[in-house]
């Protein structure tokens, strides 16, 4: 009962946030000098005032700003993001074409980072002055300081050019034919490098936090009790310590969704991964307003949904949150 109400509140709040995102984006883009009519005119090699006016009328750019804004918000709420100026296709089509690739990259990188981060954190916390602990510290520093596109390029040089184990770019190899399983393997093969690159930042983050959190929990009274009653170190670590050390890590992971998407834009560019980031870059360079707005909206949506999911997971693994 309580859960349903809380969930409904959260969803309402998320919806309000998204509408605010829409308003801000639309305002910002309209404040900028130059519009699509200029771009079209430039690509045609110039246009006279009459033609410019016609282009503006075609794209409803001659309406007053509040009218344009209101129309836009209403249209988005009915899942219509308009027509791309650049591709001459509905923006929703463009986005849904690219969204799976980005989601695949973002979700797999986030999962890899969580699993690897937690494992590294747990093992290094068992021996705070051991070799693994130092490795985690070093890795955390690297993950923070290395520009993600540089990490990507280094991996690309190492594992695609010098030792060609993985493909250089793209998501599918057109020469590969076969059943869905072969195709899935092909995509997975292409996914490895981008996923590892993107995850590297977050592995560093999560392993560091997980290590600190584990160290704190391992010093607490109930862990001493668990040890005193004769549980094996493995049982103590997994059943008593990890369970309590996990919530901060999950919370942090939830807050990182926006950062993961940010990183994805760069990683997609390095590996020519056909996702939203690539689309966004093209759209920005072409001043394709509807497409940019659509992508911003969808990435905000992914972040908001990611936060909601984190909230739910947190409620499942941490009874203390449920009380609140």
Residues that bind another protein (CB under 8 A): 17, 20-21, 24-25, 28-29, 31-32, 141-142, 144-150, 153-154, 156-157, 161, 212, 215, 255, 258-259, 261-262, 265-266, 269-270, 280-281, 284-285, 287, 292, 295-296, 299-300, 303-304, 307
Q: How far is the CB of 85 from another protein (least distance, A)?
A: 14
Taking each helix axis as running N to C, give the angle between helix 2-31 and helix 289-317, from 0 to 180 degrees, rounded to the nearest 10.
Answer: 160
Question: Between 55 and 260, whose beta carbon lies closer to another protein?
Answer: 260
| Alpha-carbon gap, residue 310 to 253, rounded angstroms | 8
Q: How far is the CB of 292 from another protein (least distance, A)?
A: 6
Question: Between 23 and 231, whose beta carbon lies closer to another protein?
Answer: 23
Q: DSSP assignment, residue 61?
A: T
Q: Which residues contact 111 (CB under 8 A, 6 or more apart)?
A: none
Q: How far is the CB of 263 from another protein (least distance, A)?
A: 8
Question: Between 186 and 202, whose beta carbon lies closer to another protein?
Answer: 202
Q: How far is the CB of 301 from another protein (least distance, A)?
A: 9
Q: How far is the CB of 53 from another protein (least distance, A)?
A: 23
Q: Where are the alpha helices (DSSP H) in the chain?
A: 2-31, 36-44, 49-58, 65-77, 91-126, 131-145, 148-156, 180-218, 221-228, 233-235, 243-255, 257-271, 276-285, 289-317, 319-323
8-21 burial code (b ≥16 CB/10 A, e <16): eeeeeebeeebeeb
| Alpha-carbon gap, residue 232 to 227, rounded angstroms | 7
Q: How far is the CB of 210 from another protein (least distance, A)?
A: 14
Question: Between 156 and 191, whose beta carbon lies closer to another protein?
Answer: 156
121 close to 249: Cβ distance less than 8 angstroms = yes
Q: How far is the CB of 178 from another protein (least distance, A)?
A: 30
**Torsion over CA of 139, 144, 146 and 150, rounded to 10 degrees?**
110
The vertex-82 CA angle with 79 and 87, nearest 5°, equals: 125
Question: Between 126 and 287, whose beta carbon lies closer to another protein?
Answer: 287
Question: Between 1 and 161, whose beta carbon lies closer to another protein?
Answer: 161
Query: Cα 249 to the chain's mean position, in Å?
Result: 17
Question: Between 186 and 208, whose beta carbon lies closer to another protein?
Answer: 208
| Alpha-carbon gap, residue 201 to 116, rounded angstroms | 12
């Amino acid at each position: 009962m309580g859960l349903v109400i809380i969930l409904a509140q959260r969803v309402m709040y998320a919806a309000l946030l998204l509408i605010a995102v829409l308003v801000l984006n639309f305002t910002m883009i309209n404040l900028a000098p130059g519009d699509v009519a200029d771009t079209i005119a430039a690509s045609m090699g110039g246009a006279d005032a009459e033609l410019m006016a016609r282009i503006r009328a075609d794209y409803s750019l001659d309406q007053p700003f509040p009218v344009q804004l209101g129309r836009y918000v209403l249209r988005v709420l009915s899942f219509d993001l308009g027509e791309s100026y650049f591709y001459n296709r509905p923006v929703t089509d463009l986005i849904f074409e690219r969204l799976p690739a980005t989601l695949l990259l973002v979700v797999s990188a986030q999962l890899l980072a969580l699993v690897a981060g937690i494992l590294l954190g747990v093992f290094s916390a068992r021996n705070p002055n051991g070799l693994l602990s130092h490795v985690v510290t070093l890795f955390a520093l690297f993950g923070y300081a290395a520009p993600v596109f540089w990490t990507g390029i280094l991996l690309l040089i190492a594992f695609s050019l010098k030792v060609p184990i993985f493909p250089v770019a793209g998501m599918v190899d057109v020469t590969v034919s076969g059943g869905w399983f072969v195709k899935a393997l092909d995509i997975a093969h292409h996914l490895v490098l981008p996923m590892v690159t993107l995850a590297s930042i977050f592995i560093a983050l999560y392993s560091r936090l997980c290590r600190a959190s584990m160290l704190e929990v391992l010093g607490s009274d109930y862990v001493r009790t668990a040890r005193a009653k004769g549980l094996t170190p493995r049982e103590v670590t997994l059943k008593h310590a990890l369970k309590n050390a996990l919530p901060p890590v999950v919370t942090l992971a939830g807050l990182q969704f926006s950062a993961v998407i940010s990183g994805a834009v760069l990683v997609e560019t390095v590996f020519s991964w056909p996702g939203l980031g690539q689309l966004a870059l093209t759209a920005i360079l072409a001043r394709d307003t509807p497409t940019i707005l659509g992508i911003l909206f969808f990435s905000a949506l992914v972040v908001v949904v990611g936060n909601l999911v984190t909230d739910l997971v947190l409620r499942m693994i941490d009874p203390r949150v449920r009380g609140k």
